[in-house]
Structure 1
Amino acid sequence: MRVVLQRAKCASVQVDNEVVGEIKAGLVLLVGLTHNDTKEDVLFCAEKVAHLRIFSDENDKMNLSVLDIGGSVLSISQFTLYGDCRKGRRPNFMAAAKPDIAKDLYQLFNRTLEAKGISVEEGVFGAHMDVELVNDGPVTLIIES
């Protein structure tokens, strides 16, 4: 499992020109799954996202988590995170999990974050989406299981 995490001041996602998810301060997560990902991978990544200390405290040190600030998450499924660009000029997506498997694990990831007390907004799995965000910092990290 691979999650590109971006600290955001605000963010939204649209499908067919309709806003389907929107947050204020928090995290934008681009979530990719591969063939051999399991429930344990999902739980590991959700735990890491919930407790990663990347928000500033009163001393302007990255010392607070999304939970600590009462922030939200905008979670976007993105199979292209497993695109292999090493050969040729067109990415190979063979490493991405099949949609039925990926969708179940993606939903489990989001529900696990919600169970930790984080408000989660989502895009539409498998849809063409337009994502907007104001990246705070910018702070962008990659979490892998």
Structure 2
Amino acid sequence: LSPEVRDVLEEFGFKPPLRNTYQSIIARAAETYHAILKIGRLIEEYREPSRAYEEAEVRAGEAMAIVEAPRGMLYHRYQIDDGGRILYANIVPPTAQNYAAMEEDILKVGNLILKKPREEAQRLVETTIRNYDPCISCSVHMIRLKIIEE
């Protein structure tokens, strides 16, 4: 993060890195502010290229990359034949990487919800999931909470 973003975070009492998933909205806001500042610098430094694109030779091979996505790192790998056709593609989105930690946090919340009214218990589980992945937030209302007392 840029010094400007770190200063704003510290002004509000936050010190990166934020490790509490309940502060994920703060982390996203900080990353958005960082991106806006960077976009401004890129626009200021932009120079029109002499060519719109570069010619590329099609050849067989394998490529992989890691890019930062809104909810974490996105890993992708491809195999291409000499005609430029994709033979294999593997994309590992952040959501898939977050499942283990999400499940662990839900188990921790599970101990708290046993003493709560059903509606509050459901809300706590849904909130825990939303903290990890806004894309599945839309489907969280589909969660059916089943508490089994032994």
As a proportion of its length, which structure holds more strand? 1
The alignment's TM-score, normalised by the length of structure 1, stands at 0.24
As a proportion of its length, which structure holds more helix? 2
- Highest CA radius of gyration, 1 or 2? 2
The alignment's TM-score, normalised by the length of structure 2, stands at 0.24
Which structure ranks higher in relative contact order (CA pairs < 8 Å, sequence separation ≥ 6)?
1
